[in-house]
Amino acid sequence: MKKFIFALITTVGLVAGAQAAEGGFAWDKAPSKTNDLASLQNGAKLFVNYCLNCHSAAFMRFNRLKDLGLTDQQIKENLLFTTDKVGETMKSAIDPKQAKAWFGANPPDLTVIARSRSGAGGSGADYLYTYLRTFYRDDTKATGWNNMAFPNAAMPHVLWELQGERKPVYLEQEEHGHKVSVLKGWQQVTPGTLTPLQYDQTIGDLVGYLQWMGEPAQNTRVRVGVWVLIFLLGLTFVAWRLNAAFWKDIK
């Protein structure tokens, strides 16, 4: 019994610690782009070019991208590698053993990453939007990069050429008699190929695609749900008036 209580206390402590670490850095609100086909198409291209080298999306097939307005020919010409076929799933070609040796762990599958990363700080899309925009140079790390939303992340900043190199700027404040460092902003060290605004828009496209990929039918689900609720409200009104008509002569 003592062992069970100790294990329960330890588990609660770990969960609380994880939530505290997660809540230590505020997540930015991700733009909603799951209804923007042009944005989703660009996000799919970014995913294939920058993410699929290491991460798989093993529960998503290339031909499902036709839901985004793409044809089989467009998918073949722009989003497929030479050995892939339209009906295949989005699997990475990286060797899991080599990936573990390089990064310390095999890169996770990203099919439902936008749904799995939601927490007290916001939705999974908010986390991803913040994570992909808060990399900074850290020469003490093996990859040369660190991240504000996920400190000590094993993933390097694969989009650094687009964003350029930045470093965080801190402001010292006194809280409860102690000096603490608070993130004030970012200083651009070297420029990227995109402006900060363009980079944020690009990440918004990528995150929108990851959000769509986690549930391709989500927009249909919401649309059908709205019509179902409207129908039930109408049916409730009709039933209420019929009930009043049936019982109007009975006191």
Q: What is the tens place of the pLDDT at every residue in 36-75?
A: 999 999 999 999 999 998 999 999 999 999 999 999 999 9
Distance CA 57, CA 202 (A): 20
pLDDT tens digit string along 199-208?
A: 999 999 999 9
Pick the residue with more confidence: 134 or 180? Answer: 134
Q: Report d(CA 194, CA 215) in Å as an integer.
A: 30
Quote the pLDDT of residue 82. Answer: 67
pLDDT of residue 7: 41
pTM value? Answer: 0.80
Q: Is residue 149 part of a domain?
A: yes
More confident position, 89 or 24: 89
Question: What does DSSP say about strands 57-61 and 164-175: parallel, antiparallel, or unpaired?
Answer: unpaired
Q: Per the domain annotation, does 17 fall within a domain?
A: no
Q: Is 157 exposed, middle or buried (0-12, 13-18, 19+ CB in 10 A)?
A: buried
Range of the domain at 143: 22-242
Of the chain, the percentage scoring pLDDT greater than 90 comes to 61
178-191 and 164-175 strand pairing:
antiparallel
Average pLDDT over every residue of 144-157? 92
Q: How many CA atoms lie within 13 A of 73 on its CB side?
A: 0
Domain-embedded: residue 174: yes
Asked whether residue 60 is assigned to any structural domain, the reply reads: yes
In a domain, 10, yes or no: no
Mean pLDDT computed over 165-176: 85
User: Looking at the 3D structure of the chain, how many domains does it have?
Assistant: 1
* Pairing verdict, β 135-137 and 89-90: unpaired
Give the integer Cα–Cα distance in Å for 202 and 46: 8
Domain containing 169 — which CATH number? 1.10.760.10
Orientation angle between helical segments 196-214 and 37-46, nearest 10 degrees: 90
Tell me the DSSP string of 107-160: PPP-TTHHHHT-BTTB-HHHHHHHHTT-EEE-TTSTTSEEESSSTT-SS--TTH
Residue 107 falls inside a structural domain: yes
Q: How confident is the model at residue 95 (pLDDT cuts 50, 70, 90)?
A: confident
119 DSSP β-pair partners: 122
Which own/partner pairs from 195-202 qualify as long-range (CB within 8 Å, at least 24 positions apart)?
Answer: 196/163, 199/133, 199/159, 199/162, 199/163, 200/133, 202/42, 202/46, 202/159, 202/162
Domain assignment of residue 12, yes or no:
no
Cα–Cα distance for residue pair 227/239, rounded to 1 Å = 18
Could you give the C-alpha distances from 221 to 57, 113, 126, 226, in angstroms and in order?
22, 19, 21, 9
Neighbouring CB atoms inside 10 A of 245's CB total: 9
Is 63 domain-assigned?
Answer: yes
